[in-house]
Amino acid sequence: MNAPVIPIVPALVAGPSRQRRREGIKGRRVDPVRRAELQALLGDETLRRDRLIEYLHAIQDHHGQLATPHLAALAERLRLSQAEVFEVASFYHHFDVVREDPTGAVPSPPKLTVRVCDGLSCELAGAPDLLARLPALLDAEVRVITSPCVGRCEAAPVAVVHQHPVRHATPASVQAAVTQGLRTHEPEPYAGLAAYRGAGGYALLRACSEGRRTADEVIATLEASSLRGLGGAGFPAGRKWRIVRAQPAPRLMAVNIDEGEPGTFKDRWYLERDPHRFLEGLLVAAWAVGIDAVYVYLRDEYHAGRAILQRELAALRADPPVPALPVIELRRGAGAYICGEESAMIESIEGKRGLPRLRPPYVAQVGLFGRPTLEHNFETLYWVRDIVERGADWFAAQGRHGRQGLRSFSVSGRVREPGVKLAPAGITLRELVHEYCGGMLPGHALKAYLPGGASGGMLPARLADVPLDFDTLQPHGCFIGSAAVIVLSQHDSVVDAARNLMRFFAHESCGQCTPCRNGTAKASELLARPRWDRELLADLSQVMRDASICGLGQAAPNPVDCVVRYFPDAVPT
């Protein structure tokens, strides 16, 4: 028996309901005018996905904002979904993403933006008053907003007019900067390539390149010196070099100059004075570990530092000290404290949102673009030349109170002479203030101090004789981190300081994990109340420490826990 013939209905194959083939990327249609503007800005070269943040900076620098029609045009060029480009642009604080109004028009960007730092050091120096008074003094088209720590705590309070930092800012000095049209900050005089070479610079790199030193010898010297990562984690530098060197090639390097920890400015200070000492350390590390390409991630607030690195990297390429240099790419951050965490920084270098990765695998095994990656802080590399040339014993002998090495302390707050203080590891806060900072300000007596920036906790004056170093502060519920020391006096409120720091953490949480995202926001809300619920704060602290993905959520409770522990009489009840 023959099977029945099923008639083919023409409407099913050729009728008006037939699904049409998509002609482009799903999303809003790209405005031809915006497409042409993007073409004129970025040129004809093939765009790279990992440089997405660089392209976003280029658009914002040119147009003053990131309008969604431009984001759509960029997504088309990169063959990405518009949602993916938008989520990256909206993640970073320094990108001003604006949508069209109901008529389809794009709002104009502000004439100028003034950012007033509301970090703890600037708050102590009068930033709230500055912020309150500026809007009435400036043109209505000038936008005045708050900003997390901008890395100039020694000159607090600080305001940034576009890209021009105003040190020790007053309403009058900010108004003058706006009136004079000061929009960018030119670098102060520093040691360029010729001056650095004239003082013996790059002799070590040449000795390495010519075989007069071996990689094993250099790594052994670092190990013997006890040099540890100076970005906060404190992992032994020599051991890290050996670990990455043992991984399969190609290997990459990521350099962290995104020092967003409130109170920290040492990397900027060194970069603006002696950039080639850092660059030689970077190149020696690349040689010893066998690195093919280096990515330097610099925080967006350091505009003068970026100009210096661009200029000096160009000088190095034009007149290299050795025959072959690795590829070095300078990447620009966009205002995200979380990108100081090594895996979040790597995500950002890849052109993504700065979300910390789960580990294992570790960055040394699977890092940038899936390759083994040597990740280092600026200052760690800055010391490589001196340690290798002078010997491990020289560096190790510098410590005090049984500790080894040197520390660059970023000191701010109620001291006569704030700034970067190069001092022996293990020095105490009392010694640091009196020997290196000229003592306390007149009329101020030591009440409390933060030994390691916002996340490092807070200690009372009675613990000012504890050595400041790795592993010495943990018994007291604190850590040294990046050695950012903020000094408080009897005129300051430790409760208000804790509130300031928790607002910072709530603002900077990347939002990836619930304990940190909700925990920092809830803790900030609890601290703002006239009475603190100690039991609830303690429970919240424990959950954040146990369950947060990265160090931001794990360390955010430190200032609050320290206030409750060391200043119980100050706690609102």
Q: In this predicted structure, what is the pLDDT of residue 186?
A: 86
Q: In this predicted structure, what is the pLDDT of residue 182?
A: 92
Query: Which tokens is 387 given?
Result: 């340690």
Cα separation, 394 vs 405, in Å, equals: 8
Q: In this predicted structure, what is the pLDDT of residue 21?
A: 56
Of 383, 405, 403, the closest CA to residue 394 belongs to 405
Angle at 240 between CA 273 and CA 285, to 5 degrees: 45
Phi, psi of 172 (to 5 degrees): -65, -45
Amino acid at 109: P
Q: DSSP states of 112-181 as a string?
A: EEEEEE-SHHHHHTTHHHHHHHHHHHS-TTEEEEEES--S-GGG-S-EEETTEEETT--HHHHHHHHHTT
Determine if the peptide bond prior to 451 is cis (ω within 30°). Answer: no
Put simply, whether the predicted model's pTM sits higher than 0.95 gets the answer: no
pLDDT digits (tens, 9 = 90+) for 74-123: 999 999 999 999 999 999 999 999 998 888 789 999 999 999 999 999 99
Q: In this predicted structure, what is the pLDDT of residue 5?
A: 42
Query: Which tokens is 407 given?
Result: 């520390």
* Count of beta carbons in the 10 Å neighbourhood of residue 333: 27
Lookup result for tokens 């309008």: 67
CB 142 within 8 A of CB 124: no
Query: Which tokens is 115 given?
Result: 């950012």
Query: Which tokens is 158 given?
Result: 């600080």
Of 128, 122, 133, the closest CA to residue 172 belongs to 133
CB 89 within 8 A of CB 66: yes
CB 276 within 8 A of CB 288: no
Element (DSSP H or E) covering residue 288: helix 275-289
Strand partners, 296: 255, 330
Task: Return averaged pLDDT per consecutive 10 residues of the chain, 573 residues in all.
Answer: 41 46 65 95 95 98 96 96 97 95 87 97 98 95 96 98 97 96 91 97 98 97 94 91 98 96 97 98 98 98 97 97 96 96 97 96 97 97 97 95 96 98 98 98 98 96 97 96 96 98 97 96 97 97 96 96 97 94
Q: DSSP states of 416-466 as a string?
A: SS-EEEEEETT-BHHHHHHHHS-SBPTT--EEEEESSSGGG--EEGGGTTS
* Count of beta carbons in the 10 Å neighbourhood of residue 17: 7
Residue 521, Cβ density class (10 Å: 0-12 exposed, 13-18 middle, ≥19 buried): middle
Distance between terminal CA atoms of the chain? Answer: 92
Radius of gyration of the chain (CA): 26
Taking the CA atoms of residue 360, residue 365, residue 367 and residue 371 in that order, the dihedral angle to the nearest 10 degrees is: -140
Q: What is the largest CA-CA distance in the chain?
A: 109
Amino acid at 478: C
Q: DSSP states of 72-107 as a string?
A: HHHHHHHT--HHHHHHHHHHSTT--EE---TTSPPP
DSSP 228: B
Cα separation, 133 vs 138, in Å, equals: 9
**Residues ≥6 apart with Cβ < 8 Å to 473:** 451, 452, 456, 457, 459, 466, 479, 480
